[in-house]
Structure 1
């Protein structure tokens, strides 16, 4: 499964079952803007990477894989952006939805700086704590908006 634009040049898909059942694209281009749907840490087969272990109630019991899940989210975003000739440098805003704020804050700075290649990434960033995400072992989901050709500023 690779990111593709099978229906038209303005929408992108992974080809995963939840796109069909929920009914949405992974990314949509409008003019020079790209809107990327919430990305989580799935691999090319649609399987969750670094899933959190679950307790007896089906809730994550360990948040130590937050950083790895976050890195894979950004890698998936980068693959979608590349379909349009864009990159993470074109991201102007992102929202991170996390299950555990402390676990996220422990890794978010290091991960963001690494994926954006800057000590001061130029994407406006929001982080929101939520009670649950789409898949139970999922700890994070990232949504972003990019502007193709946005002037990059390295910090």
Structure 2
């Protein structure tokens, strides 16, 4: 690999620029063919949390997918997930069923952590990921 291949690239789609400017973090960072995605949550375009674990989980995975696409990858390239849950024991089954729709096979490594709070009081789950571009291709 050349030095050019190893330069760090911040991934911040236009609609996330305010987050980058106000909170000083990137939605993802790409170095070479690896991508580290910051925690994605179930909020709509106005940053309003969706109602309930199902809706929030779908929105968070959709946001994750969009960030990966912006970085040149897809959900198939995800090698690791880390999820943070406000009510892990009660909601993990529902979350797992939805996760399996986004990852129907070739499951990534996954750690699920129960936490007492997330960035907004109404949030139920946050999803972060690591991806390797191209590894999801057969």
Q: TM-score range by the shorter chain?
A: 0.7 to 0.9
Residue number in structure 2 paired with 1:58: none
Q: CA deviation at 1:16?
A: 5.3
Contact preservation (8 Å) 2:81, 2:109: yes
> Which structure has greater strand proportion?
2
Paired residue for 2:4?
none
**TM-score, length-scaled by structure 2:** 0.84
Match for 1:134 among 109, 113, 119?
Answer: 119
Structure 1, unpaired ranges of 5+ = 1-8, 51-64
| Corresponding residue number in structure 2 for 1:41 | 42
Higher helix share: 2
Task: Flag as ranges the 4+ runs of structure 1 deviating above 3 A.
Answer: none
Query: Match for 2:87 among 100, 113, 116?
Result: 100
The structural deviation recorded for 1:67 is 1.8
2:3 corresponds in structure 1 to: none
By how many angstroms is 1:10 displaced? 2.0
For structure 2, the residue ranges without an aligned partner over 5 or more in a row are 1-7
1:113 touches 1:121 (CA, 8 Å); kept in 2?
Answer: no
Residue 83 of structure 1, CA deviation: 1.1
- Structure 1 length as normaliser, TM-score? 0.75
Q: How many residues align?
A: 129
Determine which of 52, 55, 58 is the counterpart of 1:71.
58
- The structural deviation recorded for 1:71 is 1.1
CA RMSD of aligned residues (A): 1.9
User: Residue by residue, what CA displacement relative to the aligned partner does 1:8-63 show, whole Å, maximum 9, x if unpaired?
Assistant: x922224354432220110111100011001101223333222xxxxxxxxxxxxx
Are residues 151 and 121 of structure 1, via their aligned partners in 2, closer, same or farther at CA, if it must alter by over 3 Å?
A: closer
